[in-house]
Amino acid sequence: MYNAKAYSATSATARLASAIIVRRDPTETDVQIEVLFCGVCHSDLHQTRNEWSGIMPTVYPCVPGHEIVGRVTKVGSAVAKYKLGDLVGVGCLVDSDGTCPACKRDLEQFCPNSTLTYNFPDKHLGGVTYGGYSDSIVVDQRFVLRIPTNLNLAGAAPLLCAGITTYSPLRHWDVTKGKKVGVVGLGGLGHMGVKFAHALGAHTVVFTTSPSKIEDALRLGADEVVLSSDANQMRQHAASFDFILDAVAADHDINAYINLLTIDGNITLVGAPEKPLPVPAFSLIMGRRSLSGSPIGGIAETQEMLDFCGQHNITADVEIIPIQKINEAYERMVKSDVKYRFSIDMTSLKSE
């Protein structure tokens, strides 16, 4: 075991602050990584503030962070896939059983015995897992991803969660050229959804509550932008979408979007608001529309997404911050004031 520097929250109302945590020494199949950048996901905020207490209660101290890129500093004797100095990534998953039907289909995100990167029982050290707001992390090689070397590292970090969480449902629902696709909420996830839908050739429409984001949405690849508060603009798109990706982090009227789906259209929730969203049965019945959810993606698909980003030169639009600005960043995220992902420069932890 060794000590690592980190930022943690000690309660749902505490500010994140500097802390020392214990990491395991790499086992023979482990990779030790120096964390260079860690993206700031809205899930980090939900979790540190215990906003998902019903389904995933937070254990304190909580070290969030599951959009990790870094450099390999040590490998176990059985690690063949990575060597010292390689640029690698770690997302939301750090373990799964490898034998269940989900794992056999490369869908580790549905494995009943998977381990999330933070706030999950740590089978090596006891207690819970600690995430990427840290100077180093140790992860089994199966859950380590390769980062294409042409990508900007600060912008690549958010691909590990925001990237795969939007790429996976767009692929699953067969978003291609000729399809009309909506993306609701231009935050960290939403802006990646726009980049991917555009790169996949779909006619892409962004729904935002923020007039200040309209120009950016077009620059990011949207063909049209709708201010969701404008009932007239919303009506013009009635019953016309093949697919809508809902990436909103807070309470909102999902029925307004269900009504924009065409026959057999699907709306997939990736946003995970604290409270349940009411869904009128008739909106789904009329038009045989469907409502789904989707969590992150499997490891193979995450690598596929990273390689796709390498080929198309896609990264997140980031605002780089030192870890000391993390509490301010959370406050801005609550106000939807993020363009479009914070990425923490982990060298800032050295001064703690």
DSSP character at residue 219: H
Query: Please, what is the minimum distance in Å from the beta carbon of residue 160 to Zn ion?
Result: 8
Chain contacts with ligand NAP (rule: CB under 6 A): 41-43, 46, 161-162, 165, 185-190, 208-210, 213, 247-252, 270-273, 294-296, 333, 336, 338
The least distance separating ligand NAP from the CB of residue 45, rounded to whole angstroms, comes to 8
75 interface partner picked from ligand NAP, Zn ion, none, CB below 5 to 8 A per type = none
Asked whether 162 and 272 are in contact (CB, 8 A), the reply is no
End-to-end CA distance of the chain: 21
Nearer to ligand NAP, 7 or 342 (CB): 342
Kindly state the helix (H) or strand (E) to which residue 194 belongs, with its residue range. Answer: helix 188-199
Q: Which is nearer to Zn ion, 107 or 161 (CB)?
A: 161
Q: Site map for Zn ion, 40-79, x if CB under 5 A?
A: -x-x------------------------------------
Residue nearest to Zn ion (CB): 41
Please say which residue, 88 or 249, places its beta carbon nearer to ligand NAP.
249
- Sole binder of Zn ion in the list 16, 75, 103, 161 (CB under 5 A): 161
Q: How far apart are CA 67 and CA 253, in angstroms?
A: 29
> Are 189 and 271 spatial neighbours (Cβ–Cβ below 8 Å)?
yes
Which among Zn ion, ligand NAP, none contacts residue 296 (Cβ within 5 to 8 A by kind)?
ligand NAP
Q: What is the DSSP string of 58-116?
A: PPSSB-----EEEEEEEE-TT--S--TT-EEEE-SEEE--S-SHHHHTT-GGG-TT-EE
Compute φ and ψ for 133, nearest 5 degrees: -80, 65
- At its nearest, how many Å lie between Zn ion and the CB of residue 109? 12
